[in-house]
Amino acid sequence: MLSIDQLTVSYGGICAVRRGKMEVADSAITCLIGRNGSGKSSLVQAIAGLVPSTGQTELDGTDISRKSPASRARLGISLVPESRRIFGSLSVGENLMLGAPRDAKVSAARLEKVLEYFPAVRDLLSRGGHQISGGQQQMVAIGRALMRSPRVLILDEPSLGLGPLVVAEVFRAIYRIAKEGQAVLLVEQNATAALKISKYAYAMSLGELELLGPTADLPPDFELRDLYL
């Protein structure tokens, strides 16, 4: 569904992503793991068109490398950023509807589906965005992206700052979303949790991407610490 080739991101004289090559499959979770500062966020921001980059980015066979962020969003790239970006002055329901299409019936159906994924959000629709917890904000942020019915859903550190029980709830929803046909690129420092729900895996260190392959094929003695140290 999504592929990048020779993707490079530089900030002045610093190369944050170096000739990255990756494929994201349809109806599956592809995870990208790596420590903080390895270049993961720069990579996904480049895919969304938010930072300048070189190389090629294709969505379902169409080259989108020169497309603007708005054009990429319209074509089906939805990025849930690390900071979530929930509008505190809007209600939870209004935050969700920011991603909705104009057709009222389609919007209502998509909203109901989002609430199936995140039942805890149903009772929060009239509450202000600034009045909900970090975990609830993460659910709303993912739900808002899903309201666009994206072709590729990119999640940047969805577990960041969340407690174990909330992380488990969010990851269960992400797993279900992919099982029902969504292409997901999951970017995570929490490698153990990410690998458990992903079908394919990549690792990133100092701007370099490495294909780990299908998670089912990782050896029993696979050591995550080797990727970080």
Query: What CATH number did the domain enclosing 124 receive?
Result: 3.40.50.300
Cα 60–chain centre separation = 17
pLDDT tens for residues 127-142? 999 999 999 999 999 9
pLDDT at residue 189, rounded to an integer: 87
Tokens representing residue 166 in the block: 């909330």
pLDDT of the residue at 228: 57
pLDDT in tens, 7-57: 999 998 899 999 999 999 999 999 999 888 889 999 999 999 999 999 999
Q: Which domain holds residue 146?
A: 2-213
User: Does the residue 71 lie in any domain?
Assistant: yes
Q: How many domains does the chain have?
A: 1
Distance CA 8, CA 16 (A): 8
223 part of a folded domain: no
Residue 35 pLDDT: 86
Is there a domain that residue 220 lies in?
no
> Which of 62, 193, 84 minimizes the C-alpha distance to 136?
84
pLDDT at 227: 63
218 within a domain of the structure (yes/no): no
**Integer Cα distance of 154 and 144 in angstroms:** 12
The SS3 assignment for 85 reads coil
**pLDDT beneath 50: ranges in the chain:** none
d(CA 78, CA 141): 11
Structural domain includes residue 173: yes
Domain assignment present for residue 92? The answer is yes
For residue 23, being part of any structural domain is answered with yes
DSSP class of residue 54 equals E
* pLDDT of amino acid 84: 85
3-state secondary structure of 126: coil
Identify the pLDDT of residue 36. 86
Confidence (pLDDT) at 197: 95
Token couple for 36: 């903080």
Q: What is the pTM of this model?
A: 0.93
